[in-house]
Amino acid sequence: MEIVLIVIAAVLILLLVGGFIARRRRTTDWSEHVAQADHHLEAARAADRGWDREVLLGTASQALESQRPGWAYEDLHLVLVDDKPGVEEDRAHFVALGSDGEARIVLHRDGAGAWHVDSVS
């Protein structure tokens, strides 16, 4: 009986350590995505005036308010800039992090250059 309890305790400790490592790695990955997105945003903005960070953040915030009313988030990160030739295929991906989890917001541009919500998940 003691051996079974020791094995169960060892498995629980391994699961706890594995979860901690996975959570830490996940946090680190966001910082890498944010840095890459910032770099791509600056390149896109230099080539095309429609990539204004404040406009993008405002549109993403409004999308969260309308799609998830009352959901509080602490951070809103631009994680992907998809700048295609022209403006109709441009996409900006955001991740909002809150105590209840995270949400991904995808924005797209229309032919006039205005940003619209593609999806909130």
Query: Digits of tens for pLDDT over the chain (121 positions)?
Result: 888 888 888 888 888 888 877 776 655 566 777 878 888 887 777 566 678 888 889 999 999 999 999 899 998 988 888 888 888 888 999 999 888 889 999 999 998 888 999 999 9
Buried/exposed code over 86-104 (b: 16+ C-beta within 10 A; e: otherwise): ebeebebbbbbeeeeeebe
**Quick one: pLDDT at residue 65?**
94
Diameter over CA atoms, the chain: 72
Query: How far, in Å, are 56, 64, 83, 96, 105 from residue 113 at the CA level?
Result: 12, 21, 12, 24, 18
SS3 87: coil
**Quick one: pLDDT at residue 20?**
77
**Quick one: pLDDT at residue 17?**
86
